Structure 1
Amino acid sequence: MTFYDGRYPFYPTARIPVGFNTIEIVIIIIFLVFLVSFLIILIGIRGADRFHWLARITLSLFIGVVIVAVNFSNNWERASATVNTTYKSFSSVNINAEVGIHVGFSGVNVTLRGVPEIQQNETINYNEEFLWNSGSSYAAAYRDGLERGLPDPILYIAEKFTPSSPCGVFSQYKVSSHYASATMWVALVAWMLANILLWLKVPLYGAYMILVTGSFMIFSLISFGTTRKTKLCAIMFDDMKLDSALGPSFWLTLATALLTLIIGITIMALSIWAPQILSKVFVLTDSTDDEDTAGEDFYNVHYLENDKPTDVPMRTLENVV
């Protein structure tokens, strides 16, 4: 048996997780491994420098994992509601279910979960992904859903995002998500350069790159936020309207961007008005708190009392011989 598109053939199509998907979990685990490794290294650092390094490493890894993880998140915009709706075409039987929309940079996830899950003698728990990123065809994914006979609520919601829909939001979401993702990757590159400059003990230029990182994260938020200018067509289930709102990924990115800007501005301010504090935080000079001194060690302390050793006459040496 072989793989086909990363999935086993002759088996039902794998569901794409909502919330934390597999890629996000892998990214978080990788950054946690780096964090644990650095924490082990910190055991060998003495004094206050240990806490300085701990703060620097923790903040840096937190910013990095947010930049990478939100690119694969499908919680930039979401909506959910519990509704009473039809389940299958050509059937008047209604079900109670929770429907949801989860929008990310690559596409939209539509979920349908029965309340309770077992109704109509089957388990109602669907999670379908419709992609609009490069290399994917949203229209083809929608047609595939029609051929597979997905439940009516999923097809009804997915139809709102199709290129041919009267809503006209497909292009807005696709273009905005594309530029938002691109600027987020630029922020990742700036974050890497900032870390390199800080490790090389060039804090001022590192602060500049930290500000660039935060700025591009803000640009990404602005790019995705333009989707709110084009209102999504009303998604109605009888008297219940499904309204979407910005999701956790958007607000987490905003908080991280503001934190990044604050860090960059703080480093710049310290470099101008308090360079001594900056030198202590980034260990730009040798610490004087250690027990070991930087001077030469002498086994005979009396040797230091005389600037020069007393010259011994040659005659004395001849007598000794």
Structure 2
Amino acid sequence: MARFEPRRSGGGFGSFLFWTAVAGGAALLFAAAFFYSAVTRPGPSTQETAFVVERGANGASIASALQEQNLVTDALLFRIANRIYSNGEPLQAGEYSIPAGASVKQIVEMISGGDALQHAITFPEGITIDGVMRILEESDVLTGEMPEAPPEGSILPDTYHVQRGMTRAALLQQMREAHDRAVEEIWARRAENLPISTPEEFVTLASIVERETGIASERPLVAAVFVNRLRRPMRLETDPTIIYGVCKVHPNRCRDGRLVDAQGNRRTIRASEIALDTGYNTYRIDGLPPTPISNPGRAALEATANPADSRALFFVADGTGGHIFAETLDEHNRNVARWRVIERERLAAERAGR
């Protein structure tokens, strides 16, 4: 009689492999969950911290610096997270404001995304190139050697937002490119029949308009006065050209484009300086000076390209910070007389208050 025996399964080794794979997968899932928890949990820092990534720094040195500053607990963890969460982007130089308790993942994404602090550096409208170079040199945000000074009137004054570590040469180039774009754009839509024929003359005239008034609403009128004088032709006879020429000839008498006395205090023009022929003094020369006398801002460029519709040929201070304009010399002389009365009254009040 035949004996029936149950057939043995041949899947013993296969079962082993299956369960091994299951265990391995579970381990991987556990490791992934553990890693994700490690890189997303709040970091050790208890306050917002400025962290600087120097140009050329590699991932290892950045990770070590973060650990040294107690922004991450494990430099190796940061390096692994960087490979996973940086989306292939390199860690970027700059100054970063790391929030209190920032996770490793947050810090990786911040630095690889270049989300660095922006520092404002302001170059006032009407600043001279000497003033520009002084600001570049004295900045503790910028790096690198001082570049060669560019020509007067070749940068666009503005507030520029830069990252710590930007080079001085790079910012200067950015300002020059901004100037070139602005001049090209505004010159292309200038009024017809202006008595200037080149962008260079345009910038020179705008630089005078810029230095004559800081009141935005007056710039088109000031520009109109000079355009009207050039058309006649009359000499421009503008004080800022005297000052600029004196500063070129006697730099010890000036600071940042302003006349100063021996103690460094701002002062007015001397009679001898009005008579000084510097090549820029428009009381002594016809037409425009040979170069700009400052770096005009966008508003002065706009006003010069499209001056006010006015027949005024003269203007003088009105005692309120602005100017009063006149079409005739007689009217102008009356305005000047009023201004001198105001000056005398102010001087008497100052003396009385001493």
Q: Same fold (TM over 0.5)?
A: no
Higher percent of residues as strand: 1
Tell me: higher relative CO, structure 1 or 2? Use CA pairs within 8 A at least 6 residues apart. 1
The normalised TM-score by structure 2 is 0.21
* Higher Rg: 2
The normalised TM-score by structure 1 is 0.22
